[in-house]
Structure formats: structure tokens, C-alpha cells
Amino acid sequence: MLDRWTARRPESVANFPGVLIPLEEAHLHSHSYRIRRRAVVESEGLLNGDDDVDTHNGKDGDEEGTTMLLEMDVPEYSIQGLRAEVRRGTPGGKGSHSGSGEKWTAYEMKSKLINKAIQDIGMGRYNWQLFVLCGFGWFADNLWMQGVSLTLPSLSAEFGVSEKSVRYTTSALFVGLCLGSFFWGLGSDIMGRRMAFNVTLLITSIFGIASSYAPTWGWVCFFYGALAFGVGGNLPVDGALFLEFLPDASSSLLTLLSVWWPIGQLVSSLFAWFFIANWPAEQGWRLFVMTIGIMTFIMFLVRCCIFHLFESPKFLLSQGRQAEAVAVVHGIAYKNNRKTWLTEEILDAVVEGAATPRLRRRLSASNILKNKLSSFSGQRLRPLFNSRKLGLATILVWFVWATIGMGYPLFNAFLPQYLSHGGGGPQEEEAATPAAITGETYRNYAITSIVGVPGSLLAAYTVDLKSPFLGRRGTLAISTFLSAIFLFAFVRLGTSPASQLLFSCIEAFTQNIMYGVLYAFTPEIFPAPVRGAGTGVASFLNRATGLVAPILAANMPGDGASTPIYLSAALILAAFGGICLIPIETRGRQRL
């Protein structure tokens, strides 16, 4: 069981027999060969009017065309061909991170080879299973973020906390979220992706279930903060992990992974509608959080006890554990019923003398602890500023995360409260007393959640389009701008329950595009050795500014039903400006 959590037992190529093929035969199993062969066979099928052409065995294909395809791939799969490929371009070229004149490092060249090997294996059973299991993390994040906001009216009613003051509950949640995202984001670069991947959901489930027994509002806030420490690590860790197992040709799936986020919101709103709207205030919310806590624990069991997760090959390579990185690639091929040509000898031969010696030495427990603690420092983040381009992109991405982090919860964390007033803000005397809990409020919230799901699907389609106005950066900019505009519209034009529902649905749609692209775009910008750190700091800033949002919402003058939304719109509009200035577009680029 401990091995499942920590990956202390090294993977070995001996565990995956039958997947290794000689480099001379690699062209028969390459991604480019499969694509061209399928195109040739499909075109022949169309010419012959045969809809049942076998695209796998090639017996119905033209032998001359197949031979030509093979010859096109042969030079690519030789030591000389691979050596030329990994050195193609410069780190200072278009879309790269480093300054001009620099050469590819040994790590970067080996990362390119691993990318190529994973690309040749292609999407298969292991990748799709990982898509679902990483989706659990995204699902849990919004399940609990929206779940907490849905309990606010009940907490007001049971504990006699005013509608404004109960918003501090969300502050407790964001304290845990920002600590969790920072700790697990950096920790995944030190301890490995696998440990964080397994432990985060366990922590979330334990404290989530415990919160249903909280005797006071203070204890509720404590348990919400503790569960958030676990759930806060899901997005930075799961996104980086999935990215590092994803073939380049399937990179849009990282954006599609965000579809689990609105699904989490949908499930949360449906359970809240069932429990909170139909049970007394002091019972409904407790049954609700216990239910989603048990659901989270089941997801942890599936991750830890049923699925065998390989450690990220990029992480292993960055730690000097090259043999294990190669073994993981073999393991992916074995799980996907494919072949691979990658070996340690090929890695070393292609990189030649540029490879850094891999030192393996035993350290005492105190030295290991000291090394881990020293990694949580500015030294860990320094590679993010190795070049002007990467440094500027890092600052702008962090700015975008920070502004959206404050703007998003100013609207979404209190949407049930806004909807409960039906478009006319609460009167002054109502603002100091708990709002009535109605089934219509939770029904409207569920409708809003449903409409948000297609946004993630549209994002996954547009991020790979070659239009200069789309791709990662263009789609993110457009969706962010529209999110800001419709927030203004919600306040100015949302004067009835129907109009509020309309604008909240449009807002959910555009915000899910925005967050879907942002979560995919961010880890692609950072190189793998500091990918966890870069995304972890971004997520930390997102949560830290989100921590300020409920404090502002609770202390704004007036009814607190319009000013927070105006501020939310202004912050998201500022994020739009930052996105337009990001100097990197990652569409179609190698991920190192």
C-alpha cells in the first residue's frame, strides 16, 4: 500500500516484457506513420467504394504506397536522425523559453525524446484512465468550492450568523486552498507527482466528513479550511501530471480535462437542491457535506487501491532517475498494448557527452529533510526567470491568476445569496438576518451549473484552432473579456429572477471556457523541472487573493449585493489585459 502512495519501489523495464522493439523497426510504430497510413488506406477505401477497409493490417492497401511511407520514416528513426531532431531550433526561438544563443540542455533533449516516444505510443487505455482519475481532482475542487457556498444560507440559519458575516466561512476555505496549492504544487516537484496525487483526496474526504459533525460555526470554518488544504493541491498537481503523460497530438485533452470542473459544480448543486432544500436548516447541510465527503473518499480509493499510477517520467528524469523514466515509458506502452523503441542507451547516445552524470548516494533522514525544506525557497523558483521571455510570461500568468482569483469568488462564491434576492438586493434590515432557503434558489443554481458544462467542451475545441484569434491565448482572452462584460450586465440588467438566471448561465458558460483554458495553458508555459512550482505559485496566488474576496464582500457598505460584482468585473477585465500581453503561445509546441 505504501508503494502505491510514494512510488518508492522503482519501476523496471523487466516488468514490461514484449514492448521493446529495435530502433530500426521504430518507423513501423511511429505516430506519423499511423496517420499517413490511415490517410492512404481511407483514400483508397473511398476510391474503391469500400467502407470496411482495414486500417490496421494494411493487406488491402497499396504495397507501393506503404513502402514509400516506410521509407519516409526510416531516416528519422536512427541515432543521427534523432540527434538532429532534438537539436532542431534553439531555446531562444519562437515559442521557447530561453534567451537567444543558448543551447538545448541534456534534460531538454532527453525530454524531447520522451515526448516523441509517448507520442509514438499514442493515446490508449492508460491515458484515458488517467484522464478520468485526474478529472476526479478537478471534480472535487469545484464540488467543495461550490458546496461550501451552498451551505452559507444554512449556516446563517442554524448558528444565527448574519448574511454578510457568514461570508467569512469562505475565507477559512481559501486559507486552506492557498496553503494546499502552494505546498502540494512545490511538493510535487520534490516528492513526486504520485504522492500528492493520492494524498490530496484522502485529506479532503476525512475533514469533509468531519465537518458534518461540527458543533459550532467556528468548527465548521476549521474543518472547511482543513479539507481545503487537501483539495487545494488537486488542480496544480493533476494538471501537471496529466500533461506529462499526454501525447503532443492529444494536447487539447488537457483543456477538456476542465469539463470535470463544472460537472463537480453540477453534482454539488443537485445534492444541495435535494438535501438542503428538503431538510431543516440544521440537518440538510450536514447530510449534504457528509454525502460529498463520502463521494470524495470513494474517489480516493479508486485512485489509490485500484489504479496503478506511474510516476511522471519528466519528474524522474529531472531527478536523475533515467532508468526509471525509461521504464515508465515501457509501462505506458505495455498498458496501451503498443510498442516502444526508447532505451537508456538511445537517450545517452542521442545526447552524447552533454548528459549530466547521474549521482546516486544514500542520505540520512535529517539530510533528506533538510534538502526537502531547502527546496521550498526562492532557489526553486529562479529557473522561471532564466530568460526575459519566460520571466515576463511567468509574471503575467501569476497576475492573471491573482486577479481572477479575487474576481471569481466575489461573484460565484455568493451566487446562491444573490439569486435568493431575485434581482432586487436585500433591504438593510434583511442584510443582517439569514435569508430564506428556497428550492427555487438551488434549482436556479443547478440550471446555471448545467449550462457551464458545454463551455469546457468548446474550450477544448478552440485551443488547437490555428486562427490568430483563437488558440490558447486568444480563446482565453476572448472568454475573459466576455466574462467581465456579462458581470456588468448581471448587475445593471439582472433586475428579475429570470434575467438573473439568464446572465448567470451566460457567465457560467464563459467562465468555464476561461478557467478551462487557463488551467491547461499555465502548465504548458513552464518547463517540467519547475512546472509544479510555477503552477503551484499561480494557484497559491489565486487562492490567496480569493481569501481577500469574502473579507471585502463582508465589509462593503450597503447591501453587499452589487458592489462586489462590479469589483469582480473590474478584476476580470484587468486579467484580460494581462492575457493580451503574455508573450508565449503554446499551441503545437514541445512540452519540456
- Cα dist from 512 to 402, 474, 507, 567, whole Å: 17, 15, 8, 19
Distance, in Å, from the CA atom of 387 to the CA atom of 381, rounded to the nearest integer, reads 13
Please list, in sequence order, all residues whose beta carbon lies within 8 angstroms of the beta carbon of residue 228, skipping any fewer than 6 positions away.
Answer: 144, 172, 173, 174, 175, 176, 177, 180, 204
pLDDT of residue 432: 46
Distance, in Å, from the CA atom of 540 to the CA atom of 248, rounded to the nearest integer, reads 28
Q: How many beta carbons lie within 10 A of that of residue 110, not counting itself?
A: 28
Listed in sequence order, the DSSP H helices in 23-105 are 31-48, 63-73, 79-86
pLDDT of residue 375: 47
Distance, in Å, from the CA atom of 468 to the CA atom of 396, rounded to the nearest integer, reads 20
Q: How many beta carbons lie within 10 A of that of residue 389, not counting itself?
A: 17
Cell of 26: 521504430
- Cα dist from 59 to 53, 63, 103, 438, whole Å: 9, 8, 45, 66
* Phi, psi angles (nearest 5°) of residue 158: -75, -45
pLDDT tens digit sequence for 349-385 = 888 755 444 434 433 434 434 544 454 456 667 778 8
Distance, in Å, from the CA atom of 25 to the CA atom of 387, rounded to the nearest integer, reads 39
Nearest to 559 by CA among 445, 421, 438: 421
Distance, in Å, from the CA atom of 421 to the CA atom of 428, rounded to the nearest integer, reads 13
- Cα dist from 589 to 369, 466, 525, 536, whole Å: 36, 13, 10, 22
Cell of 48: 474503391
Distance, in Å, from the CA atom of 269 to the CA atom of 254, rounded to the nearest integer, reads 25
Give, to the nearest 10 degrees, the angle between helix 106-121 and helix 79-86: 110
Q: How many beta carbons lie within 10 A of that of residue 75, not counting itself?
A: 11
Cell of 181: 496549492
pLDDT of residue 484: 93
pTM recorded for the entire structure = 0.76
pLDDT of residue 358: 43
pLDDT of residue 257: 80
Distance, in Å, from the CA atom of 430 to the CA atom of 492, rounded to the nearest integer, reads 21
Q: Which residues of the chain have pLDDT under 50?
A: 1-2, 7, 50-73, 92-101, 355-369, 371-373, 375-376, 426-433, 590, 592
Polymer length in residues for the chain? 592
pLDDT of residue 416: 67
Distance, in Å, from the CA atom of 118 to the CA atom of 120, rounded to the nearest integer, reads 5
